[in-house]
Amino acid sequence: MNDCLFCKIIRREIPSTIVYEDEEILAFKDIHPVTPVHILVIPKKHITSLAELQKEDEAVVGRIYTVINEIAKKEGIFEKGFRVIVNCGEDGGQEVKHLHFHLLGGKKLGVKIA
């Protein structure tokens, strides 16, 4: 996907602060953090949204959660807790059309995140 923002981040065409990378997964700091720790974890494969997930994507999504735990430990938020959010589609408030998992932590979160 040539014009996808997050694909451009994967290709280093747009700079970002990368905190984790392997063959299938990239994690980088959100440009507008809403919590002290706010990291986006994405599959390198362009998947438009959670709603577009295919059977073949199940393994990488499972691995993303393991990676999230590792990042949470590195970022020092594992013990106190954190939140993972996936916005999907228009009503879900998804702005970037490449599947991404928000890892949020570093403060006590309320019931609702904007």
Contact set with ligand 5GP (CB under 6 A): 5, 14, 16, 28-32, 40, 87, 93-96
Closest contact distance (angstroms) between CB of 17 and Zn ion is 18
Nearer to ligand 5GP, 79 or 91 (CB): 91
Is 100 annotated in the active site?
yes
Instruction: Tell me the backbone φ, ψ of residue 67, rounded to 5 degrees.
Output: -65, -40
Which entry of Zn ion, ligand 5GP, none binds 101, CB below 5 to 8 A by partner kind? none
Q: Which stretch binds Zn ion (CB under 5 A): 17-25, 67-75, 78-86, 94-102?
A: 94-102
